[in-house]
Chain A
Amino acid sequence: SAVISQKPSRDICQRGTSLTIQCQVDSQVTMMFWYRQQPGQSLTLIATANQGSEATYESGFVIDKFPISRPNLTFSTLTVSNMSPEDSSIYLCSVWTSSNYGYTFGSGTRLTVV
C-alpha cells in the first residue's frame, strides 16, 4: 500500500493566521482526500483533490477557507485560512490504493488555534 508523509505533525497558531499542511505520497495516486477530525469526534471529509483540476468540496466547507493545491500525482496541500479556535482539530489526508482496495492515511496534523 501507499505511504504518506504528512507535515507538520502539530502546530499552535494564532487566530487570524493561516497554516498549510502538506502530504507527500510515495506513489502516484489519482485522488487525495482531506479530512477534519474535531476533538473526540469522527472524521469529516473536507474535499477531494484531483490533479489538474479544482478540488471538490463537501457541504459546509468552502475554498476560501480551505484552499487545496494538487500540483502533481504525489503531492497535495491543504491551507486552513484565517484561523479561529473552532478550527482546532486534527487534519488528515488519505488516498485510495486500488492495488489493495484500501485507504491509506497520513499521520495527521494536530492544529491548535489560540
Chain B
Amino acid sequence: AQTVTQSQPEMSVQEAETVTLSCTYDTSESDYYLFWYKQPPSRQMILVIRQEAYKQQNATENRFSVNFQKAAKSFSLKISDSQLGDAAMYFCAYRRSGGANSKLTFGKGITLSVRP
C-alpha cells in the first residue's frame, strides 16, 4: 500500500523568507501523481502544486516549487517570499495513475506559521 510521510508537524518562517516542507512516500508504482494541498482555517482544501512522476522537470507555480526526487521518493515544497496568507496546514498527497476511482492518500500534514 502507498504511504505518505510528513515527519515535521510544525514549521515557522519569517515573512519574505523561504521555507521548505518535506515529504516522502512509498510506492511500487512507476506512474503516479504527487500533490501539495493547502488548508487554511477556512478548511477549504486548495491545490498548491502537482507533479507527474514521469516528468523529470520540477513543477513550479509562482512562489511555490517542488524538489521531486523519484529515486529517493522525496517530494518537498519550497515557498519563496513567504506571505502571511501562506499560514495554513499543508498536506502532501499521492495518487497512482489510473482511472477516476484512484484514491488520494494524504500525509499527516504540517502546520506552517508565518511571522510578520
Contacts and interface: CB of A to CB of B under 8 A. Distances in A.
Interface string B21-60: 0000000000001010000001111010010100000000
B84 interface: no
A108 B47 CA distance: 15
Contact of A42 (B33, B44, B102, B107): B107
A101 B104 contact: no
B50 A33 contact: no
A105 interface: yes
Interface in B2-17: none
Interface residues of B, number: 21
A88 interface: no
Interface in A76-114: 90, 92, 94, 96, 98, 101-105, 107-108, 110
A33 B106 contact: no
Task: Report which residue of B43, B44, B102, B108 has the largest number of chain A beta carbons within 10 angstroms of its beta carbon.
Answer: B43
